[in-house]
């Protein structure tokens, strides 16, 4: 009886052990399958992300547009005395330049100074200088303003108001001379102009060179911004150098 009881106990223990082992094995298989099922979507997502990133096209950078030209609203500034001011404005081209800022600089601060906004101030009672507006974008584009401090030109006269020239040779010349009435004018220089360069030209010293027959006006204009000017009207006549006769005895100019 004791042997039978011992046998039953041993059999029960063995059976229990086998059941536990089987259950443990089943759990491992289930966990393994679950893990595999869980990791598969992650692998697919990673693959999808990698594919998407590899097809992204980088955006292109817009080209930098630099300044090509700077214009000032006044090329000449006249200031009557020390302490007087005037402001110059600039326009930058092209309009889509990435940096439209400019730096202002005076060539002679003993005559005039200029601030960052283009405001010019006379620092003396008489003198000339210029200020420069230069682009900040490295293009080195700039524009200059001529500054005159002191008395403006009040009147200009020429040595002749009317001249008649007989053009006997090619490129005959005539010298015009200007005179500034007020000797205390700060800047007495003038620009010379011709109304018709085909008839006559004029150089920076007032020397007129005749080209052909006709009438032309030569003008001397003050450079100090006063806009004072004087004019000379020149009439060029062609001399008769040779006569020829037709069958009807009519003289013809050659």
Answer whether residue 10 is part of any domain.
no
Evaluate whether 169 touches 206 at the Cβ level (below 8 Å). Answer: no
pLDDT, tens digit, 9 for 90 and up, residues 22-64: 444 455 444 444 444 444 444 443 444 444 444 445 455 778 8
73 to each of 78, 91, 134, 155, how far by Cα in Å? Answer: 14, 8, 15, 26
Per-residue pLDDT band for 196 (boundaries 50, 70, 90) equals: very high
Better pLDDT: 3 or 119: 119
Tell me, yes or no, whether 136 and 161 share the same domain.
no
Tell me, yes or no, whether 88 and 161 share the same domain.
no
Domain boundary pick from 128, 149, 170: 149
Answer whether residue 138 is part of any domain.
yes
Answer whether residue 221 is part of any domain.
yes
Better pLDDT: 168 or 200: 200
Specify the pLDDT at position 240: 54
Give mean pLDDT, residues 225-239: 91
Structure tokens at 60: 């292109």
Number of structural domains, the chain? 2
Answer whether residue 186 is part of any domain.
yes
Short-list 127, 136, 179, CA closest to 157? 179
Per-residue pLDDT band for 238 (boundaries 50, 70, 90) equals: confident
Tell me, yes or no, whether 74 and 142 share the same domain.
yes
Specify the pLDDT at position 29: 43
97: domain CATH number? 2.60.40.1080
Tell me, yes or no, whether 113 and 173 share the same domain.
no
Answer whether residue 62 is part of any domain.
no
Answer whether residue 35 is part of any domain.
no
Range of the domain at 127: 69-149
In whole angstroms, what is the distance from residue 252 CA to residue 34 CA? 122
**Would you tell me how many other CB atoms lie within 10 Å of the CB of residue 57?**
5
Specify the pLDDT at position 85: 98
Answer whether residue 250 is part of any domain.
no
Tell me, yes or no, whether 144 and 167 share the same domain.
no
Structure tokens at 126: 């008489």
Give mean pLDDT, residues 164-187: 88
pLDDT, tens digit, 9 for 90 and up, residues 207-228: 999 988 999 999 999 999 999 9
Specify the pLDDT at position 157: 97
Answer whether residue 16 is part of any domain.
no
pLDDT, tens digit, 9 for 90 and up, residues 96-141: 999 999 999 999 999 999 999 999 999 999 999 999 999 999 999 9
Tell me, yes or no, whether 176 and 221 share the same domain.
yes
């Amino acid at each position: 009886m004791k042997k039978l009881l011992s046998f039953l106990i041993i059999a029960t223990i063995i059976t229990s052990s086998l059941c536990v082992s089987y259950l443990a094995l089943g759990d491992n298989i289930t966990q393994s399958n679950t893990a595999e099922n869980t990791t598969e979507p992650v692998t697919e997502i990673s693959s999808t992300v990698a594919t998407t990133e590899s097809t992204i096209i980088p955006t292109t950078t817009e080209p930098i547009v630099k300044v090509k030209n700077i214009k000032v609203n006044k090329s000449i500034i006249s200031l009557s005395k020390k302490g007087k001011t005037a402001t110059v404005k600039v326009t930058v081209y092209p309009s889509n330049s990435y940096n439209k800022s400019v730096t202002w600089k005076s060539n002679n601060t003993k005559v005039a100074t200029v601030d960052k906004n283009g405001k010019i101030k006379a620092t003396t009672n008489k003198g000339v200088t210029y200020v420069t507006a230069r682009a900040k974008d490295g293009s080195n584009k700039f524009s200059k303003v001529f500054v005159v401090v002191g008395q403006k030109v009040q009147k200009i006269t020429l040595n002749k108001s009317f001249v008649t020239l007989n053009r006997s040779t090619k490129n005959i010349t005539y010298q015009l001379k200007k005179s500034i009435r007020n000797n205390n004018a700060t800047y007495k220089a003038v620009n010379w102009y011709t109304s018709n360069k085909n008839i006559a030209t004029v150089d920076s010293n007032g020397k007129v060179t005749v080209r052909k027959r006709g009438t032309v006006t030569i003008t001397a204009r003050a450079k100090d911004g006063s806009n004072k000017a004087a004019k000379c009207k020149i009439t060029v006549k062609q001399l008769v150098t040779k006569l020829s006769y037709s069958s009807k005895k009519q003289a013809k100019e050659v």
